Homo-oligomer: A and B are copies of this chain.
Amino acid sequence: MREESLAGGHGGAARLGELIPVALGAMAAGVAERGGPVPAGGPAAVAAALTAAGGGTGTLPRTGVGAERALAELSHLLAAGSADPADPACAAHLHCPPLAVSVAADVVASALNPSMDSWDQAPVASELERAFTTGIARLCYPDAPGADAVVTSGGTESNLLGLLLAREAAPGVPVRPVCGANAHHSVARAAWLLGLPAPVVVPCEDDRVLPAALAGALAAVDGPAVVVATAGTTNTGAIDPLPEIAALCRRAGARLHVDAAYGGMALCGPELRSRLAGLDQADSVALDMHKFGWQPVAAGLLAARETGDLAALSVRAEYLNADDDTEAGLPDLLGRSIRTSRRPDAFRMAVTLRALGTDGIGALVERCCATASDVAALVAEHPGLRLLAPPALSTVVFRPVAADELPEPDEFVAGVRRTLLEAGTGVIGRAALPTGPDGAPRLWLKLTLLHPHATVEDYRALLEKVVATADAERAAAPGSPVVS
B81, B189, B315: the one within 8 Å of A124 (CB): B81
**A73 close to chain B: CB less than 8 A:** yes
**A252 close to chain B: CB less than 8 A:** no
Which stretch (A85-93, A207-215, A462-470) binds chain B? A85-93
CA gap between A350 and B61 in the complex, in Å:
10
**A272 close to chain B: CB less than 8 A:** no
Which A104-157 residues sit within 8 Å CB-CB of chain B? 104-115, 118-125, 127-128, 130-132, 134-136, 138-139, 153-157
Can you show 10 pairs from A to B with CB atoms below 8 A apart? A6-B86, A7-B86, A12-B86, A13-B25, A55-B128, A82-B124, A82-B125, A156-B340, A234-B319, A324-B414
B153 and A357 contacting across the interface, CB-CB below 8 Å: no
**A297 close to chain B: CB less than 8 A:** yes
Which stretch (A16-24, A217-225, A371-379, A382-390) binds chain B? A16-24
B58, B106, B324, B357: the one within 8 Å of A63 (CB): B357
**In the assembly, how many copies of this chain are there?**
2
B430 and A318 contacting across the interface, CB-CB below 8 Å: yes
**A100 close to chain B: CB less than 8 A:** yes
**A431 close to chain B: CB less than 8 A:** yes
Which stretch (A36-44, A273-281, A399-407) binds chain B? A36-44
Interface of A, helix, strand, loop or mixed by DSSP: helix
B82 and A7 contacting across the interface, CB-CB below 8 Å: no
A39 and B123 contacting across the interface, CB-CB below 8 Å: yes
CA gap between A16 and B65 in the complex, in Å:
26
- Give the shortest distance, in Å, between A315 (CB) and chain B (any CB): 6
**A347 close to chain B: CB less than 8 A:** yes
**A195 close to chain B: CB less than 8 A:** yes
CA gap between A70 and B189 in the complex, in Å:
38
**A5 close to chain B: CB less than 8 A:** yes
**A28 close to chain B: CB less than 8 A:** yes
- Give the shortest distance, in Å, between A459 (CB) and chain B (any CB): 16
A27 and B46 contacting across the interface, CB-CB below 8 Å: no
Nearest to A31 among chain B residues (CB) is B10
Given A58-B138, A105-B75, A351-B74, A127 contacting B357 (CB threshold 8 A): no
A357 and B138 contacting across the interface, CB-CB below 8 Å: no
